[in-house]
Amino acid sequence: MKPIEVAKGIYQVGAVDWNIRDFHGYSTYRGTTYNCYLIMDEKITLIDTVKKEFADEMLDNISQIVDPKRIDYVISNHTEMDHSGGLPRLMHKIGEDKPLFCSRMGQKNLSCHFEEKWNYRVVENGGELSLGKRNLVFLETRMLHWPDSMFTYIKEDKLLFSSDAFGQHYAGPEKFDDEIGEAIIPHALKYFANILLLYAPLILKLVDKVTEMGLVFNAICPDHGIIWRQDPNKIIKAYVEWSNQKPKRKAVVLYDTMWGSTGKMAEAIAAALREEGVDARPMHLRSCHRSDIMTEIIDAGAVIVGSPTINNGIFPTVGDFLTYMKGLKPQNKIGAAFCSYGWSGEAMEIINRELEGMKFELIDPGVKVQFVPHKEALEACYQFGRKIGQRLAVLEA
Ligand code: FEO
């Protein structure tokens, strides 16, 4: 990759991972990038690194601007190894004693990952560092995405290096928002839904804090995907909207099926919802990736979960998804369950308990059908879908 000039004397020198398709359980069907940023000042500074396998590529990119040995400072905004994996190779190259700036939790977490005794310099929230012509400000952003996370802001250039926040798993020819336009938003939404959703309350607080501080941005430079330079406020506004999770008249009907019965029920429920004016999507758990389903759930007012009963329990893919969704803590949802069964039929109660545990509003005990849904059972599914659709209309009003 050629270094990308973000502003005069500031370059993105990371790497593109074109072929990654699974990022710890998230489907990255457009690959990703690991962005890191070189600031050419009196103190030459690198913000973040890349995944270990791309460390040489990063060093090659830096070499196109300056001999890496001339780097004076390294800043680690976040410890996760897609951003810190290149540190050992970098520090070995530039000198193990060069100052490595990070948050207090950053030092703790980096020390857990790497045995090297680097020259850690802990920075406080609001702390500043002069590079000569430029001054950096550090903002602690705990849990966005780990306890060690922080942002780095350049006062003079009004650039925010936001680590995971505002990122997208997207590898393409475009490097900036103005080069890709609206097409980047679904990737940013998917990233938010699968990485940051559970921290939505913290995001809203952070946006308030940044507004209070009066920070303005010429560009927001995340560690994944494109850089927001045309309209950085657009992604901030989108984060506020996504964090608020205002339910729309939309329902995700997610299910798995063994012999087609639960699938037929899902179709009947979705059809009834659509007749009530709801954007209803049946999503089969072995056809749709969990991270794509989660993305659809962000603005859905209802999540309706179907499973056959198998071995007195729920289907494994349903268990996988419920565990995943529970961890991401979506809010403001109606929850509902449906199941087919042969002789015991525990699946519906198990799903209802899970949905209740997630604080979803349960407005109906659900629909349970023995073996194959015929006319009467499909009518029950239809009435169930209509009831949920009518409740969504009330919530929207
Ligand atoms: Fe891109 Fe939390 O790492």
Domain 4-243: CATH architecture, name and number where available: 4-Layer Sandwich (3.60)
Ligand 1 in contact with 57 (CB < 6 A)? Answer: no
Residue identifier of the C-alpha nearest atom 3 of ligand 1: 80
Residue boundaries of the structural domains of the chain: 4-243, 252-392
Among 83, 145, 169, 187, the one annotated catalytic:
145
CB 26, CB 196: distance < 8 Å: no
Q: What is the DSSP letter of 195?
A: I
β-pairing, 73-75 with 45-47? parallel
Distance CA 84, CA 51 (A): 7
Whole-number Å distance between alpha carbons of 218 and 281: 39
| Nearest-angstrom CA–CA distance, 330 and 347 | 22
Buried b (16+ CB within 10 A) or exposed e, 199-209: bbeebeebeee
> Which pTM does this prediction carry?
0.96
- Out of 3.90.550.10, 2.40.50.100, 3.40.50.360, 1.20.120.1200, the CATH code matching 252-392 is 3.40.50.360
Ligand 1: atom nearest CA of 223 is: 1
Tell me, yes or no, if 284 is annotated catalytic: no
Q: Are β-strands 73-75 and 99-102 bridged in parallel, bridged antiparallel, or unpaired? A: parallel
CA of 170 to the centre of ligand 1 (A): 14
Q: Which atom of ligand 1 is closest in space to residue 195's alpha carbon?
A: 2
Cα torsion through 33, 36, 173, 196, rounded to 10: 50
Q: Is the dihedral of CA 236, 237, 238, 239 positive or negative?
A: positive
pLDDT at 132: 98
- pLDDT score for 114: 98
What's the rounded Cα separation, in Å, for the pair 104 and 66? 30
| Consecutive H or E run containing 209 | helix 200-213
Q: Is the CB of 17 under 6 A from ligand 1?
A: no
Instruction: Say if CB 195 and CB 145 are below 8 A apart.
Output: yes
- Which of these is catalytic: 48, 57, 148, 164? 164
For residue 83, give the 3-state DSSP assignment: helix
How far apart CA 253 and CA 255 sit, in angstroms, is 7
What H or E segment, with its residue span, contains residue 162? strand 159-163
Catalytic (active site) residue 80: yes
96 is catalytic: no
- Tokens, residue 291: 């991270």
Q: Whose CA is nearest to atom 1 of ligand 1?
A: 164
* Per-residue confidence in pLDDT tens, the chain, 397 aa: 899 999 999 999 999 999 999 999 999 999 999 999 999 999 999 999 999 999 999 999 999 999 999 999 999 999 999 999 999 999 999 999 999 999 999 999 999 999 999 999 999 999 999 999 999 999 999 988 899 999 999 999 999 999 999 999 999 999 999 999 999 999 999 999 999 999 999 999 999 998 888 999 999 999 999 999 999 999 999 999 999 999 999 999 999 999 999 999 999 999 999 999 999 999 999 999 999 999 999 999 999 999 999 999 999 999 999 999 999 999 999 999 999 999 999 999 999 999 999 999 999 999 999 999 999 999 999 999 999 999 999 988 7
Cα–Cα distance list, 213 to 123, 164, 240 (Å)? 19, 21, 17
Any ligand 1 atom below 6 A from CB of 148: no
For residue 145, which atom of ligand 1 is closest to its CA? 2
CA–CA distance, 353 with 358 (Å, rounded to integer): 9
Helix axis angle, 347-357 to 316-328, nearest 10°: 10
| Interatomic CA distance for residues 232 and 230, integer angstroms | 6
Residue 145 near ligand 1, beta carbon < 6 Å: yes
Say which of 37, 153, 170, 191 is annotated catalytic.
191
Q: Is 113 a catalytic residue?
A: no
**What single-letter DSSP state applies at residue 69?**
G
Catalytic residue check, 346: no
- Cross-strand partners of 161: 152, 221
Residue 78 designated active-site: yes
Instruction: Tell me which residue of 46, 39, 36 sits closest to 14, measured CA to CA.
Output: 36
User: Cα(316) to centroid of ligand 1, in Å?
Assistant: 28
